[in-house]
Amino acid sequence: MAQPRFLVVADGAFGPETSKTANCAIRYVPERVAAVLDASAAGRTAQDVLGFGGAIPVVATLEAGLALQPPPTALLIGIAPRGGRLPDAWRGWIAAAVDRGLDVWSGLHTMLGDDPDLAARARAKGVRLFDLRRPPADLPVSNGRARLVDALVVLTVGTDCNSGKMTAQLELLRGLEARGVRTRFVPTGQTGILIAGWGIAVDAVVADFIGGAAERMVLEAAPGAEVVLVEGQGSLLHPGYSGVTLGLLHGACPSAMILCHKASRRLIGEYHPGEAWIEIPPLAEVVRAYEAAASWVHPARVVGVALNTYDLPERAAAAAVERAARETGLPATDPVRFGPGPLVEAIARAAADRPAAGSIPSA
Amino acid sequence: MAQPRFLVVADGAFGPETSKTANCAIRYVPERVAAVLDASAAGRTAQDVLGFGGAIPVVATLEAGLALQPPPTALLIGIAPRGGRLPDAWRGWIAAAVDRGLDVWSGLHTMLGDDPDLAARARAKGVRLFDLRRPPADLPVSNGRARLVDALVVLTVGTDCNSGKMTAQLELLRGLEARGVRTRFVPTGQTGILIAGWGIAVDAVVADFIGGAAERMVLEAAPGAEVVLVEGQGSLLHPGYSGVTLGLLHGACPSAMILCHKASRRLIGEYHPGEAWIEIPPLAEVVRAYEAAASWVHPARVVGVALNTYDLPERAAAAAVERAARETGLPATDPVRFGPGPLVEAIARAAADRPAAGSIPSA
């Protein structure tokens, strides 16, 4: 089908750290983004607000978005309320977009397609409701089968949510492909699925099947690949999401991990003001925690650190990278700001050193 | 409402390790069990098959069960297929039970109430389909709020699934109540919910809300209690279920843990022949893994070991208990076989030593 042309809703929240799906769409599939809808930033451009995204305009209303030429064909929900459920207030403008003939792409936990009113409106207009987080119905319970693939499986892991785990993998994908390494990206969240066009949101499956979702995707992506890059989720240290993180780690069975960290962050979840209370430990300690947790099922080493330094001046960013490398003894970079070179090297080396592993069991 | 009188289905699988829900119903609510349905064991009694349960008969067919006096009022699904989904073959006999006027109690992941055919049959006969694993719709994302309750929160944790985590808590509940300690039991799985009449199956919630389900239950159970006993799930070492285990640990925020282990088991999941491959590490190492994982959010100590020795002769069982105590330096017992005394002591001591904690925050 034709690529959608998105009007990306980020109302009241378009910004570097508050509109993750919008920002990743703008960074990785800008050709699909017609405009951003946020009354509080209307008249500016994506570049003004994010520091990237060029002339993509911010508009104040649905009508203003629809007046663009060529007009958008779909509404993309570009921000996530806490917990990911549909706030009642959003139902109205989603219905309005459907009534105006737009498809709707949503990464919410609330499945728009299951809403009788929205589903009826969509049927009446012949438009589609894409629920990016809707899980498949027949997931397995994972049993370590992913450890047996020939490809090197690399998982991004984090000190926290929202620290660059998907972005690091997309930058590594580019870097490894540029080196001629046969690489596959495994999306595990709604934004990765939006960009890559396949995947399972592991945080939206029934809890018993977190690992099974990861295992199925790795087994699907691995044949013919030298490297499989699995998008990480959450953090082992996060009081709300650690279960998803460990299930993903034990289902995907990586042999290598990249630790992602937002350099300026001190508390887990501090982007939710007033709710954060856990201090992020020194990076070397976080490395040990992930390696210990991996070892319970399948050993994995952290082979590099990906920092997110977008909010630091250049010199402070470089110093943060240098400090992370020193503290952990590992290659470090901000893959967006300074390029993914040192991490690409580390992964390519780990892939080359990897012994020809077993084969995927038939069952 | 009147207590149900169950015909417990365990067809082809009634046995000490293969029919967990059936067995726990027989152990803890025998007054609700009319009979067990298993053609392969028909004519025997629960006592013959399990070593407990007295004269509860095993019958070969639904008709034979219905012929009992007084007749059963409900069908209880007492066995779980791998992954917990409804096998197609079961649909027929569930429909037959509904058509004969029985309610159906199910702990499957597949929600019987969502099956159009079964739901229509149930409506037609005026009977009810109880889905014990159906999660509430409005769970929060956990944020460590449970660490602030005044009660001592105790979580059972395991080397594996199916090692006695619920049973240990039910035995501790009896033991603590007998000592006059105000104690609440928090059920986190379908069998615990069946027995206690409330709770949330944390393995059946959307993955982002595992911790939130645990947190909500601890906050609900804690007021007025000195000790809150949370039923554990899975194992940090299990390749399929570790995410549920860690989410539960970080949502419930226990300060004390009881490590549960089936003494004769060598491999994780070895009750699924041919699929098990991870050796269970020495118990002291498992204790360290759980204490490390807890510390990422809220520190907790393992204060005792609950062994499951039902398949060992008396002398070997006593030796296993002695060895577990020696290896871990902790009080140990098989709470069913030898009584929960040493663990009750350890928990009562930890509760008495507990400083008056903070209070539950209002938000």
Sign of the dihedral through C-alpha B293, B298, B304, B310: negative
For chain B, domains (ranges, CATH) are 6-131 (3.40.50.720), 145-353 (3.40.50.300)
β-pair partners for A230: A155, A186
Contacts of B237 in chain A (CB under 8 A): 296-297
Mean model confidence pLDDT for chain A: 94
Are the beta carbons of A239 and B278 separated by less than 8 Å?
no
Q: Please spell the DSSP secondary structure of B286-298, one letter per residue.
A: HHHHHHHHHHTTS
Low-confidence ranges of chain B (pLDDT < 50): 358-363
Close Cβ partners of A142 (under 8 Å, ≥ 6 residues apart): A210, A211, A212, A214, A215, A247, A250, A251, B239, B240
ipTM for the complex shown:
0.93
With an 8 Å Cβ cutoff, is A312 touching chain B?
Answer: no
**DSSP single-letter state for residue B38:** -
Are the beta carbons of B236 and A251 separated by less than 8 Å?
no
With an 8 Å Cβ cutoff, is A282 touching chain B?
Answer: no
Report pLDDT digits (tens) over A100-146. 999 999 999 999 999 999 999 999 999 999 999 999 989 999 999 99
Smallest Cα distance from A83 to chain B, Å? 6
**Following CA atoms A348, A351, A353, A358 in sequence, which dihedral angle do they give, to the nearest 10 degrees?**
180
Phi, psi of A104 (to 5 degrees): -125, 130
Smallest Cα distance from B204 to chain A, Å? 5
Q: What is the pLDDT of residue A361?
A: 43
Residue ranges of B 15-44 with Cβ closer than 8 A to chain A: none
Smallest Cα distance from B241 to chain A, Å? 6
Report pLDDT digits (tens) over B127-186. 999 999 999 989 999 999 999 999 999 999 999 999 999 999 999 999 999 999 999 999
Share of chain A above pLDDT 70, in %: 98
Q: What is the pLDDT of residue B359?
A: 45
Rounded to an integer, the average pLDDT of A172-191 is 97
Residue ranges of B 50-109 with Cβ closer than 8 A to chain A: 82-84, 109
Q: What is the pLDDT of residue A3?
A: 87
Nearest beta carbon to residue A208 from set B84, B211, B293? B84
Residue ranges of B 123-182 with Cβ closer than 8 A to chain A: 140-144
Report pLDDT digits (tens) over A325-337. 999 999 999 999 9
Report pLDDT digits (tens) over A58-79. 999 999 999 999 999 999 999 9
pLDDT band at A90 (very low <50, low <70, confident <90, very high): confident
Residue of A nearest to B246 (CA): A243
Q: Position of tokens 């939006």?
A: A194
3-state secondary structure A254-266: CCEEEEEEECCCC
**pLDDT above 80 (res A359):** no
Residue of B nearest to A85 (CA): B138
Are the beta carbons of B210 and A243 separated by less than 8 Å?
yes
Contacts of A241 in chain B (CB under 8 A): 141, 208, 211
With an 8 Å Cβ cutoff, is B269 touching chain A?
Answer: yes
Is the peptide bond preceding residue B70 cis, with omega within 30 degrees of 0?
yes
Residue of A nearest to B160 (CA): A296
Report pLDDT digits (tens) over A14-54. 999 889 999 999 999 999 999 999 999 999 999 999 999 99
CA dist., res. A15 & res. B20, Å (int): 51
Are the beta carbons of B205 and A204 separated by less than 8 Å?
no
Q: Measuring CA to CA, which residue among B55, B59, B21, B26 is closest to residue B40?
A: B59
> Is the CB of residue A263 less than 8 Å from the CB of residue A308?
yes
Residue of B nearest to A109 (CA): B206
Report pLDDT digits (tens) over A232-255. 999 999 999 999 999 999 999 999
Smallest Cα distance from A248 to chain B, Å? 8
A–B interface: beta-carbon pairs under 8 A: 159
With an 8 Å Cβ cutoff, is B296 touching chain A?
Answer: yes
Are the beta carbons of B245 and A241 separated by less than 8 Å?
no
Q: Measuring CA to CA, which residue among B185, B108, B179 is closest to residue B151?
A: B185
Smallest Cα distance from A196 to chain B, Å? 22
CA dist., res. A308 & res. A265, Å (int): 10
Smallest Cα distance from B233 to chain A, Å? 10
Are the beta carbons of B239 and A248 separated by less than 8 Å?
no
Q: Please spell the DSSP secondary structure of B8-27, one letter per residue.
A: EE-TTT-STTT-HHHHHHHH
In degrees, rounded to 5, the angle at the alpha carbon of residue A229 between the alpha carbons of residues A228 and A234 is 140
CA dist., res. A226 & res. B143, Å (int): 39
Sign of the dihedral through C-alpha B318, B321, B327, B329: negative
- pTM score: 0.94
